[in-house]
Amino acid sequence: MSHHGKTSTPKHEDAGLVRIRAQFVEWFGDAEAERRATAIATLPRVEWRGRTLYTIRCLGDFGHGPHDMHVPASLLWSLINVHHFFCPYHR
């Protein structure tokens, strides 16, 4: 069975990252954007299918408990806090 879902290309990911980062700066200012950029830069990275993903920890305390997730940078710019994260399963 083949998969016919939409996949994002690096070009789309780059454009999305530019938009969400600009929105972050608009809402929170340059100083907070610098803090967020520093927080993102300190996260571990993995390469997956030619994409750089960042490893964050889901703090869920049931099921499989706390676990690592690999997410794109655009998600990290849209989170409230990159160090206090719950995946959709644990929310």
CA distance 63 to 79: 23
Q: What is the pTM of this model?
A: 0.77
Residue 1's pLDDT band, with cuts at 50, 70 and 90, is very low
Out of 11-15, 20-24, 87-91, give the one with best mean pLDDT. 20-24
Average pLDDT over residues 75-83: 90
pLDDT of residue 55: 96
Q: Is 37 exposed, middle or buried (0-12, 13-18, 19+ CB in 10 A)?
A: middle
Asked whether the predicted pLDDT for residue 77 surpasses 60, the reply is yes
Interval 35-61: pLDDT, tens: 999 999 999 999 999 999 999 999 998
Domain definitions of the chain by residue range:
10-78
pLDDT of residue 13: 67
Asked whether the predicted pLDDT for residue 10 surpasses 80, the reply is no
